[in-house]
């Protein structure tokens, strides 16, 4: 069928494409179309097969080292990505009602958010009443609360039910250091104890989180996120190894939590590069082949969302979900489009859930195995991001590792420069946020200002660092437009 379809069309050479571009530019140079990304990578406007020269990973197959093309040979055909949602509900009974509705309408994983009030085993029973935990994996990611939540799960569930739990109850103390500037002084001991407890009582459940949320929310670009993710993972491998846990045991329990950024192709390449980098780290550490793959949970980012015209966030959520799915992640959680305005509604949660269902059931991405594989632009970007991130990771290691780099302020200063450049590009119009600095709907000026960030009261200043403040790129425009609307 395809041969008959294209039989009447003569193939075009790369040189003919170049000439067509020159003609459309009316004398302008093709080089003028090249763009430099936030990561400092030159984006070629006309990719070519020669771009793959020297890129070793593009010869690999799905399910094979270095897992750039996915951790399973059959990709999503064997197991679709899990559809998750972070319900912004604190009351356990109300959470349960909303969760049961979500699961009945397409949600396939259960996320336990930090704001859910869980103080006793009774709270756990209320929150998870009438839910088949053997069917739906759990996604619990917390700076410091994961051990407490798992303890409550152990008190609320039978030993048999606890042993069947899948997913992760991920403790990530270094995220706490980056977010609040402080970390429990015995975090390494607590991480070891948590990993051992989870392994004994829930052998299928992950226990160690590697999150780049603090860096992403503060404005970090993809190369910084990748380098910091690898540095976090290596720090945990090193700390737990000193407590007697082998690399293979620790690697099996790790989950990477990545926020999703704005640039479709950069983000696709970021997820693929993360698998490439981690597989090579574990190979160098002598890990067994079956432990070198990486489980990735992708979360919708907040820094690019709008308050004034919240519905345009649906455009950004769609791009985020698509890039994560094509990048080959294991699970995706999208915020409701109106989250920046405060509490979400059942309707807004439904739209975010259905975005993923459309990608799975109508776009039919789950029937494809690595749809980006072999694409010149994506493969080259994957290689460029991985190489740049590895160089930054080496710089962090040379400086003494992630903790010392955070305590010295080097990482914060680096991300602050990136955030300033992002804000400058938005202000100048070099970068576009629809509904914010382009195509603004003046009738939607109803923004409220964000609440100030708070520091966890359980933190101590023993491992002090400068907190990374989250940014929202639209906020200066929203303040200006709101003031103008109020006649100020």
Q: Say how far apart CA 486 and CA 382 lie, in whole Å.
A: 47
**CB neighbourhood size of 99 (10 A):** 24
Query: pLDDT by residue (tens digit) across 384-426?
Result: 999 999 999 999 999 999 999 999 999 999 999 999 999 999 9
CATH number for the region 60-390 comes to: 3.20.20.240
Burial tier of 398 (Cβ tally within 10 Å: 0-12, 13-18, 19+): exposed
What is the pLDDT of the chain when averaged over all its residues? 89
Which of 28-37, 172-181, 247-256, 264-273 shows the lowest per-residue confidence on average (mean pLDDT)? 28-37
Mean local confidence (pLDDT), 470-478: 90
The string of DSSP codes covering 346-413 is: HHHHHHHHHHHHHHHHTS-GGG-S-TTTT-HHHHHHHHHHHHHHHHHHHHHHHTT-HHHHHHHTHHHH
Better-predicted residue by pLDDT, 28 or 397: 397
Beta bridge partners of 141: 170
Burial tier of 60 (Cβ tally within 10 Å: 0-12, 13-18, 19+): middle
Query: pLDDT by residue (tens digit) across 43-98?
Result: 888 888 888 888 988 888 999 999 999 888 999 999 999 999 999 999 999 999 99
Residue 371, pLDDT > 60, answer yes
**CB neighbourhood size of 97 (10 A):** 13
Sequence-distant (≥ 6) Cβ neighbours of residue 84 within 8 angstroms:
107, 108, 109, 110, 111, 139, 297, 331, 332, 333
Which of 110-119, 127-136, 264-273, 283-292 shows the lowest per-residue confidence on average (mean pLDDT)? 283-292
pLDDT reported for residue 453: 39
Residue 290, pLDDT > 80, answer no
Burial tier of 434 (Cβ tally within 10 Å: 0-12, 13-18, 19+): middle
Residue 289, pLDDT > 60, answer yes
Grade residue 445 by pLDDT with cuts at 50, 70 and 90.
low
pLDDT reported for residue 461: 40
pLDDT reported for residue 59: 85
pLDDT reported for residue 381: 95
Mean pLDDT highest for which of 215-224, 285-294, 456-465, 467-476? 215-224
Q: Say how far apart CA 348 and CA 204 lie, in whole Å.
A: 33
**CB neighbourhood size of 443 (10 A):** 9
pLDDT reported for residue 51: 85
**CB neighbourhood size of 374 (10 A):** 12
pLDDT reported for residue 3: 67
Residue 302, pLDDT > 70, answer yes
pLDDT reported for residue 121: 96
Grade residue 463 by pLDDT with cuts at 50, 70 and 90.
low
What are the residue ranges spanned by the domains of the chain?
A: 60-390
Candidates 293, 271, 264, 188; CA nearest to 225 is 271
| pTM, entire model | 0.92
What are residue 194's phi and psi, to 5 degrees? -65, -45
Which of 14-28, 219-233, 284-298 shows the lowest per-residue confidence on average (mean pLDDT)? 14-28
DSSP H or E stretch at residue 318: helix 313-327
Ranges assigned E (strand) in 261-354: 295-300, 331-333
Residue 448, pLDDT > 60, answer no
Query: pLDDT by residue (tens digit) across 340-363?
Result: 888 788 999 999 999 999 999 999
pLDDT reported for residue 452: 40
Mean local confidence (pLDDT), 365-371: 92
Candidates 54, 58, 51, 46; CA nearest to 12 is 46
Which of 140-154, 158-172, 187-201 shows the lowest per-residue confidence on average (mean pLDDT)? 140-154
Query: pLDDT by residue (tens digit) across 178-214?
Result: 999 988 888 999 999 999 999 999 999 999 999 999 9
Contact 208, 195 (CB under 8 A): yes
Q: Which residues of 215-234 are buried (b: 16+ CB within 10 A; e: fewer)?
A: bbbbbbbbbbbbbbbbbbbb
Q: Say how far apart CA 481 and CA 232 lie, in whole Å.
A: 40
pLDDT reported for residue 486: 58
Residue 333, pLDDT > 50, answer yes
Q: Say how far apart CA 422 and CA 80 lie, in whole Å.
A: 34
């Amino acid at each position: 069928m395809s041969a008959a379809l294209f039989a009447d069309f003569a193939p075009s050479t790369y040189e003919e494409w170049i000439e067509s571009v020159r003609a459309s530019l009316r004398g302008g140079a093709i080089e003028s179309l090249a763009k430099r990304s936030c990561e400092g990578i030159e984006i070629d406007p006309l990719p070519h097969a020669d771009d793959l020269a020297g890129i070793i990973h593009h010869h690999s197959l799905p399910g094979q080292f270095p897992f750039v093309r996915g951790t399973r040979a059959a990709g999503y055909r064997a197991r679709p990505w899990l559809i998750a949602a972070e319900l912004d509900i604190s009351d356990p009974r109300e959470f349960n009602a909303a969760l049961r509705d979500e699961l009945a309408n397409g949600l396939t994983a259960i996320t336990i958010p930090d704001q859910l009030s869980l103080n006793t085993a009774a709270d756990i029973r209320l929150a998870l009443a009438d839910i088949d935990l053997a069917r739906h994996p759990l996604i619990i990611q917390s700076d410091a609360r994961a051990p407490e939540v798992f303890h409550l799960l152990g008190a609320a569930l039978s030993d048999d039910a606890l042993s069947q739990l899948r997913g992760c109850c991920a403790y990530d103390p270094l995220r706490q250091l980056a977010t609040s500037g402080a970390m429990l002084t015995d975090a390494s001991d607590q991480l070891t104890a948590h990993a051992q407890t989870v392994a004994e009582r829930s052998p299928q459940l992950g226990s160690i989180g590697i999150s780049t949320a603090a860096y992403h929310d503060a404005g970090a670009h993809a190369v910084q996120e990748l380098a910091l993710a690898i540095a976090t993972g290596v720090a945990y491998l090193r700390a737990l190894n000193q407590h007697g846990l082998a690399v293979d045991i620790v690697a099996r329990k790790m989950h990477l939590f990545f926020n999703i950024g704005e640039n479709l192709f950069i983000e696709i390449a970021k997820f693929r590069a993360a698998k490439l980098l981690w597989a090579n780290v574990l190979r160098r550490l002598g890990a067994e082949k079956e432990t070198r793959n990486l489980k990735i949970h992708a979360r919708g980012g907040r820094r690019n969302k709008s308050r004034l015209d919240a519905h345009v966030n649906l455009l950004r959520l769609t791009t985020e979900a698509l890039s994560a799915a094509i990048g080959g992640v294991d699970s995706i959680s999208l915020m409701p489009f109106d989250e920046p305005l405060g509490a979400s509604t059942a309707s807004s949660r439904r739209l975010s859930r259905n975005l993923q269902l459309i990608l799975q059931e109508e776009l039919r991405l789950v029937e494809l195995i690595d749809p980006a594989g072999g694409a010149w632009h994506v493969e080259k970007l994957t290689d460029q991001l991985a190489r740049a991130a590895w160089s930054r990771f080496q710089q962090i290691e040379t400086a003494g590792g992630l903790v010392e780099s955070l305590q010295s302020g080097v990482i914060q200063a680096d991300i602050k420069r990136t955030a300033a450049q992002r804000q400058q590009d938005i202000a100048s119009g070099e970068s576009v946020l629809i509904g914010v600095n382009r195509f603004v709907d003046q009738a939607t000026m109803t923004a409220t200002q964000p609440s100030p960030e708070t520091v966890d009261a359980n933190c101590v200043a023993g491992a002090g660092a400068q907190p990374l403040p989250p940014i929202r790129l639209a906020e200066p425009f929203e303040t200006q437009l709101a003031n103008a609307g109020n006649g100020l």
